[in-house]
Chains A and B, each alone.
Chain A
């Protein structure tokens, strides 16, 4: 039986187990939307902006561990999606974005709502396709899903000309995908594993530095096994939070620009750094030549181009983190040279040293009685959700406070725009997360600036009846930029004062959601408790200390030991 391209498109999504897609219609996609109405297997979430559709799909994928799917129309729909695609690319998030396109015979003619989205997104996708004839449609979609989720994951874009969606085709049968040019390396080289294990056996001051790759490869258990068996302290990147239990005694929290004092000191003084699924981003390393200067470095990563890109690596292991950690754990399982008690004994002075650093400058803030401190709000959120909520964030100070003060014990519990740092990510991401985990508490921890970048998504929440909670840490500033201005630009608060802001409670109410406000520390807990009880979208407006800073802070370009402290 022949199907139209639009029918084949949906059938192919079903074939990949897709249940939810996020999108926005337009002329180029009418055929698909027409079919969607008749389809009861795929639920389409109509966001109020294409950027939000992509962020929502991104977070849906992160939380569920699947490939997120977004669908946007040609021209402006596609360009609106660009920020979302770039964010997913920087964070290696598996995502397939479908864009409508003008009919093939009009391509290149500056037709109405035509853009060369394949050209535009070439540097921000893992790969992208223009489907030139209907016969290629299904094979390309299959390749797109395959590419998105295998190897180092990432967004793949498929551009769908309108005529392709209307052409009748036979639905090709499913065949195993084999791509001549694409064969990611999953299995580690045994010789490298051996070298790495021997280095670990020897090390007296080891540190594990875990990144988003641990979460993407679902290797948190393997990582935890390794850390506990060898008694190695663990620090995580923003993307790696939850890859190792945040409340474990071996956890040092986040490292880098706003990392903990003791994590940064430990990295600066370690003799062995075990990087797992991390990419030595400048926000982590600070001045590169001062990063882990005394350490031998092991780097496990599935992407060979990540290895020795920013920092020279002594023992590279190109592999899927899970496979590599499995091999390492197995090596220690059978090694006769390894003895857990000896290992603890050997590491004891190192742990003492770290404890000393920790006691000297623990993560903290100055408490006040009549004004709400943002860190306090996050601690309360952590406490009242039992550390078990799914948290998304926008970008700014509130994002860093979240990373510092919410303790993530599980993977796929946290979604934030790490690499690109997109204000406006968190609210749509919370929608995606709630769709992925309907029974979980989902909270977007937001800034008053960022929330306004996709505030229209209140409508989406209401339409889908999502009990998403938004905790706005309202400082009346673009706080993170203001902090830089305070520290490095003589307090010239150029364009960072939010001189006009909406009443967030009323905005929520205007959409039929609930708005709550806390202006005193004593109101924080009641507001959170009440919000958690409400089966509706809730905005919590926390009016916080206006000029609170995020500390520790490593000024850009400085060594990570040169931290400004509270």
Chain B
């Protein structure tokens, strides 16, 4: 099963390689990864998506926690949370398909952020499943390039 794991870390040189080294050294897989600063400038948040049986996920969280620079490890699947990914998609946009592309982008609340003579760059955010749906729809029109971010996630506010 897929798990999104959120890791708060000290923002120090080499910390990222401690995390990725742990994954490669112990044969855990990383499907996506994203890191950036948090509100506290010396703390980063790393979100990674991995998959494995429960025992593997348990080892992953324990081993992450064991790294000296790690402050907190949260398996997002144990919480009600929101997850987002971003994709930039360069799609063919010629005279007869431009309107079609725009309509699709609109339906999925994306944006065209660059307009070329024969292509658009479309910006999309959403869950991985939504991005995949848009990609599948745009593919017949002609996708030239895709860049996707890793997943980021946040727990929802507790109800009441």
A-side residues, CB < 8 A to B, are 118-119, 122-123, 126-127, 130, 147, 179-182, 303-305, 308-309
How far apart are B19's CB and chain A's nearest CB, in angstroms?
Answer: 11
B14: chain A residues at CB < 8 Å are 118-119, 122, 130
Given A305-B62, A308-B55, do A127 and B68 touch, yes or no (CB 8 Å)? yes
**A151 nearest in chain B by CB position:** B66
CB < 8 Å A-B pair total = 36
Given A119-B17, A122-B18, A122-B21, do A303 and B59 touch, yes or no (CB 8 Å)? no
B55: chain A residues at CB < 8 Å are 308
B10 at the A interface (CB under 8 A)? yes
How far apart are B53's CB and chain A's nearest CB, in angstroms?
Answer: 12
A119: chain B residues at CB < 8 Å are 14, 17
State which size class the interface on B falls in: 10 to 19
The docked-state distance in angstroms from the alpha carbon of A309 to that of B55 is 8
As a 0/1 sequence over residues 78 to 111 of chain B, the CB contacts with chain A under 8 angstroms (1 = contact) are: 0000000000000000000000000000000000
Q: Are B18 and A181 in contact (CB under 8 A)?
A: no
> What would 27 A/B residue contacts be, using CB atoms closer than 8 Å?
A119-B14, A122-B14, A122-B17, A122-B18, A123-B21, A126-B68, A127-B68, A130-B13, A147-B68, A179-B68, A180-B10, A180-B71, A181-B10, A181-B68, A181-B69, A181-B70, A181-B71, A182-B68, A304-B62, A304-B65, A304-B66, A305-B62, A305-B65, A305-B66, A308-B55, A308-B58, A309-B59
**B70 nearest in chain A by CB position:** A181
B58: chain A residues at CB < 8 Å are 308
**B62 nearest in chain A by CB position:** A305
How far apart are A243's CB and chain B's nearest CB, in angstroms?
Answer: 24
Q: Is the interface of B mostly helix, strand, loop or mixed?
A: helix
B117 at the A interface (CB under 8 A)? no
How far apart are A372's CB and chain B's nearest CB, in angstroms?
Answer: 44
8 A Cβ contacts from B18-75 to A: 18, 21-22, 25, 55, 58-59, 62-63, 65-66, 68-71
The docked-state distance in angstroms from the alpha carbon of A182 to that of B69 is 8
Q: Are B21 and A303 in contact (CB under 8 A)?
A: no
A309: chain B residues at CB < 8 Å are 59
**A182 nearest in chain B by CB position:** B68
**A156 nearest in chain B by CB position:** B68
The docked-state distance in angstroms from the alpha carbon of A505 to that of B118 is 85
The docked-state distance in angstroms from the alpha carbon of A122 to that of B59 is 19
Q: Nearest 9 A-B pairs (CB), nearest first?
A: A305-B62, A127-B68, A123-B25, A181-B71, A304-B62, A305-B63, A305-B66, A122-B21, A182-B68
The docked-state distance in angstroms from the alpha carbon of A180 to that of B69 is 9
**A179 nearest in chain B by CB position:** B68
Known: A181-B70, A304-B66. 13 other contacts (CB 8 A): A118-B14, A122-B14, A122-B18, A122-B21, A123-B25, A181-B71, A303-B66, A304-B62, A304-B65, A305-B59, A305-B65, A308-B55, A309-B59
A179: chain B residues at CB < 8 Å are 68
A303: chain B residues at CB < 8 Å are 66
A118: chain B residues at CB < 8 Å are 14
A308: chain B residues at CB < 8 Å are 55, 58
The docked-state distance in angstroms from the alpha carbon of A118 to that of B63 is 19
The docked-state distance in angstroms from the alpha carbon of A179 to that of B13 is 17
